[in-house]
Structure 1
């Protein structure tokens, strides 16, 4: 997740989400006094995002002089709770930026406006990013980005060259062999990790993706996960081996304040499995130039299928007093050239197909080449009721498995049972 380094706040709905059966009154700042339609638009605070939204708002208001958009932003660590409270209090913004994982709870409770011609519109996007915005074949928002964490890795070409590795790994076995050569140890432990994937998001995403690359599945009936499959056992066994047997990564930095990409840019890993959003961090925060972003080979001979969440997008409150104008604005931002400019300005992967396949996009942002090449293989992660809890279960049991405190089979059974209990509690 792009902002995983900020305190995670996708909490379960412990605040009463009194939407079903209620009548939302709309935000009091939304009105049509003085002849102007006034829209309230909320988003989280992130410099590149805020600047990109301001440009969209200015362009829209220039074309629609009768519309005034009041844009308000909030710190990421409180934003989700702010949204929940506003919808519960019946004073939601007309337009809200939401992360795709949050959207299903709102759409299931009738809080969001359906987009007209949603079935046709949804086909303009890749299935993974639009999945969270869909419910029963209806579309309840538009994704602005494709939130991809897998498929590509950061590498230090010079480190590979120094170890005599002349070409990128093309199979999983080659990846593991190269990672072993690249791992450096000293008297204090692991100095350079050969292949670092041990982060809060990537453990889970890699586990699920390795299942998909075996043509397996991880969802059963009634929105329950199914980790009692040969594919799930093989996937978790392979991840355990990277740490416990091959020793190309470890748990020493897991859960710390820094991201795995920070350690990479500091020179503490040779290859790091992470989403393309980390590239901007390296360029801006570390001024590092001796790196590249390249494909990670598939676990099998199949295509590099992967699981992905729906990323940031925009939705409209069902009871907004100016719903028609609000829906028009989010569709305005979704026009190809406007969305392309937004993705380039925010260094995000396009969720819309026509933007992703535009040769000018990769020309302007060559670091995106690896990610753009695999977007078609992404699958929506599915109807997770509590994102934090789901990921925590996978991460916690992965650590226990690596440390030998649980077998792979027992760990999968325990995490499956806990996640499915959580799924049931949120129905």
Structure 2
């Protein structure tokens, strides 16, 4: 997930635009008719995001001199809890940046304002990033990005060429065959991984996508998952084989401080299944030029459908005393040119169709070409009640399965029971 890579690890840092303020619940001036309308906007601390929001706030204020927006950013590690505390105390910010997986908890409890023109807005966005912001057919926020972790992979073209591989794999069988050729071992184990997908997010996303590419489903009734299907068994068996049989990757770096993309840019893997947000790290942090970002072939002959979460977006508190102005501001940010500038500045994939389909966007960001080509195949991951728990269950049992401590069937069943218990506990 993008924020896990770039989240700050230090104390609270507040990035303030205009005059710093408190939440609308403590801000008696956050209403029209008392001079300037003052809005408080909270977000998570990531430099590119903060800079992009500041630019939009400045532009909005120049067009609306009667509105003053105070933007405050907090480290990701504390941000979600701070949001929960503020909404529980009924002193939320007027506008909040939220990750799409968090939004349903707030919209279910009546804490968020509905977008007045939601039906028209829905048609402007891809379904996958919009999913978390929908509840009962109503729209409770707007996604700023398409949080895509699947569909593309980093490759070192020179490594492929040295093994006699002239082009990236076009089928799943070719992917496995090429990965075997590209894997380099020494007496200590794997030195260069042929195909690495073993990261905290990608294990789950890959499993779900392989199920979907077989035309299978992983949700049953009552917001329960169903991992007892033939498609789920086949998908998990294939992932296990990559570790246990094909031995093109291993679990040695799983759970460490570095991301799989870090190892890729250090030359420790030839192909790595990861989201496009990792490209910025390679260009900026590692100064690597000898790499490309190419499509991952479908597991079947079907289209490369995949599961995706709703990414970062903005919502308005139902209790905001300046709700109309707050809603106007988030729709101002969602205008094509504004959102395009935000996506380019943050190196994020557009959630809005007209931005993603703009030839100028691709020209300015050529590494995004692979991701943009598959956006229409994304499906919302679904009504996950506890994102961290869901992913942990998949990751934990995958490790047990890959190391032979659990059978594929037993691991999937145990995983399913644990996730469904969690789903019930959050109702």
TM range (shorter): over 0.9
Q: CA deviation at 1:5?
A: 3.6
Answer whether contact 1:96 1:316 (CA < 8 A) is retained: yes
Give the 3 Å change call, closer, same or farther, for CA 93–240 of structure 1 in structure 2: same
Answer whether contact 2:7 2:46 (CA < 8 A) is retained: no
The alignment status of 1:28 with 2:36, answered yes or no, reads: no
**Cα RMSD over matched residues?**
1.4
After superposition, where does 1:47-58 map in structure 2 within 5 Å? 47-58=47-58
Structure 1 unaligned blocks of 5 or more: 10-23
Q: CA deviation at 1:120?
A: 1.8
- Give the ranges of 4+ consecutive aligned residues of structure 1 lying more than 6 Å apart after TM superposition: 6-9
Q: Which residue of structure 2 lines up, in the alignment, with residue 245 of structure 1? A: 245
State the SS of the aligned residue for 2:128.
helix
State the SS of the aligned residue for 2:256.
coil
Q: Which residue of structure 1 lines up, in the alignment, with residue 423 of structure 2? A: 423
After superposition, where does 1:176-255 map in structure 2 within 5 Å? 176-255=176-255
Q: CA deviation at 1:95?
A: 0.1
Q: CA deviation at 1:188?
A: 1.0
Structure 1: distance between partners of 2:242 and 2:214: 18
Q: Which residue of structure 1 lines up, in the alignment, with residue 266 of structure 2? A: 266
Q: Deviations over 1:147-171 (max 9, x none)?
A: 0000000000000000000011110
The alignment status of 1:46 with 2:46, answered yes or no, reads: yes
Structure 2: distance between partners of 1:221 and 1:26: 39
Q: CA deviation at 1:48?
A: 0.4
Give the 3 Å change call, closer, same or farther, for CA 232–67 of structure 1 in structure 2: same
Answer whether contact 1:30 1:322 (CA < 8 A) is retained: no
State the SS of the aligned residue for 1:355.
helix
Q: Deviations over 1:221-263 (max 9, x none)?
A: 0000000100000000000000000000000000000000000
State the SS of the aligned residue for 1:96.
strand
Answer whether contact 2:8 2:46 (CA < 8 A) is retained: no
Q: CA deviation at 1:8?
A: 12
Q: Deviations over 1:6-58 (max 9, x none)?
A: 6899xxxxxxxxxxxxxx97342652475100000000110000000000000
Q: CA deviation at 1:4?
A: 2.4
Structure 2: distance between partners of 1:78 and 1:359: 38
Give the 3 Å change call, closer, same or farther, for CA 391–87 of structure 1 in structure 2: same
State the SS of the aligned residue for 1:314.
strand
Answer whether contact 1:115 1:140 (CA < 8 A) is retained: yes
Q: Which residue of structure 2 lines up, in the alignment, with residue 20 of structure 1? A: none
* TM-score when normalising by structure 2: 0.95
Q: Deviations over 1:156-197 (max 9, x none)?
A: 000000000001111000000000000000111100000000
Structure 2: distance between partners of 1:127 and 1:238: 28
Give the 3 Å change call, closer, same or farther, for CA 84–192 of structure 1 in structure 2: same
Q: Which residue of structure 2 lines up, in the alignment, with residue 18 of structure 1? A: none
Answer whether contact 2:126 2:351 (CA < 8 A) is retained: yes
Q: Which residue of structure 2 lines up, in the alignment, with residue 16 of structure 1? A: none
Answer whether contact 1:57 1:69 (CA < 8 A) is retained: yes
* TM-score when normalising by structure 1: 0.95
Structure 2: distance between partners of 1:357 and 1:131: 20
After superposition, where does 1:348-363 map in structure 2 within 5 Å? 348-363=348-363
Q: CA deviation at 1:412?
A: 0.4
Answer whether contact 1:29 1:38 (CA < 8 A) is retained: no
State the SS of the aligned residue for 1:4.
helix
After superposition, where does 1:258-297 map in structure 2 within 5 Å? 258-297=258-297
